[in-house]
Amino acid sequence: MTDSLTIKRPDDWHLHLRDRTMLAAVLPETARHFGRAIVMPNLVPPVVTGADAKAYRKRILAALPNGAKFTPLMTLYLTETTDPDDVERAYNDGIIHALKLYPAGATTNSDSGVTNFDTVKPVLERMAKLGIPLCTHGEVTDENVDIFDREAVFIDRVLDPIRRANPELRIVMEHITTSDAVDYVKSADTNLAATITTHHLVINRNHILVGGIRPHYYCLPVAKRQTHQIVLRAAATSNDPRFFLGTDSAPHIDANKISVCGCAGCFTATNTMSILAHVFEDENALPHLEAFTSLNGPAFYRLDPNADTITLTKGDLVQLPTHIPTPEGDVTVFDPGFPLKWHIT
């Protein structure tokens, strides 16, 4: 039984850092273990231009703890008025690494997302030509579609037509939650990958609803049946290069989580690596942890893996904070529901 594992420093290919005081509070939790992260652009107002992304990156770097070795990889929020020329300039200048597609109204701060997909065709065509990845929040927002079916319907109605129209477009299906998504990624030979979150490997919809509503397990896309969770765990631990870590760690203060209309999101930045080591050990797949966290993502984004390493050692219970304080209130750290024994150095 392995009790120590050294791997290339991991990256997070889907991360919410927010801004201002929240940014300052949560950034150290990611920078402690991760070398890089794809940073989501759904601020208020959103990051929609190269100038916006450059300014946001500057704020992130200014908030880093002294001595931290962390690189934010910026994204632009795709809107119906996104300028392809601005996208090209930002990409060529090294300011951005991807664009993010939010169907309007799909999740937190997605009101500026896309409703008419015909309007973004010129941007997608330019991205395909330049090799810029498109990160997708893969859910439709049609109120007639059940929330547990919205990922599968998105694949049929939105994603597959986009891929057929732009076969060279490189796409990341973010935070997949269903066997439908796993199967769809596996059906593609090139230009398609998926991120899987820490929490979707740990919870299913029973964890949210059985015995009472647990708001800190509420996220979007919402966790699905256990049968889907089992498929996600198999994909993450399979060593398949098309699947890699994107935590979707999303901080909300407790007052906004525990409310009449609670916010969606699980904050996992603090304990993700300890949780993942536990999951991969459970699946008899510890040798594949490095690929999922540290190798597959850089390969898809055409970057080198991080040069430095971290070591995971199994021992006594890991002592981690249950809350991250901010001036506006506490952010609850995701509770996996089992003891953590993997320490990170």
Which pLDDT value is given to residue 39?
98
Q: Check: CB of residue 85 under 8 Å from CB of residue 121.
A: no
- Residue 202 belongs to a domain with what CATH number? 3.20.20.140
Residue 51, C-beta contacts closer than 8 angstroms, at least 6 positions apart: none
- Per-residue exposure over 273-303, b if at least 16 CB sit within 10 Å of its own CB, e if not: bbbbbbbbbebebbebbbbbbbbbbbebbee
Which residues are within 8 A (CB) of 246 and not within 5 positions of it... i.e. 6 or more apart? 12, 13, 14, 15, 38, 172, 174, 175, 195, 196, 197, 297
pTM: 0.96
pLDDT of residue 117: 84
Number of domains comprising the chain: 1
d(CA 97, CA 190): 19
Reported as a pLDDT band with limits 50, 70 and 90, residue 110 is low
pLDDT > 90? residue 271: yes
Told to judge if 180 belongs to the known catalytic residues of this protein, a careful annotator would answer no
Domain of 112, in residue numbers: 4-344
Is residue 249 within 8 Å of residue 268, measured between CB atoms?
Answer: yes
pLDDT of residue 115: 83
Put residue 211 in one of left, alpha, beta given phi > 0 → left and psi -120 to 50 → alpha.
left
Sheet holding 36-39, edge to edge: 12-15, 36-39, 71-77, 96-101, 134-137, 171-174, 192-196, 243-245
- For residue 238, the model assigns a pLDDT of 98
d(CA 254, CA 330): 6
Catalytic residue among 248, 254, 282, 335: 248
pLDDT digits (tens, 9 = 90+) for 167-205: 999 999 999 999 999 999 999 989 999 999 999 999 999
Residue 109 has pLDDT above 60, yes or no: no
Mean of pLDDT values over 63-90: 97
Q: Per-residue pLDDT tens for 19-52?
A: 999 999 999 999 999 999 999 999 999 999 999 9
Chain-centroid distance of CA 140 in Å reads: 18
Over residues 110-121, mean pLDDT = 82
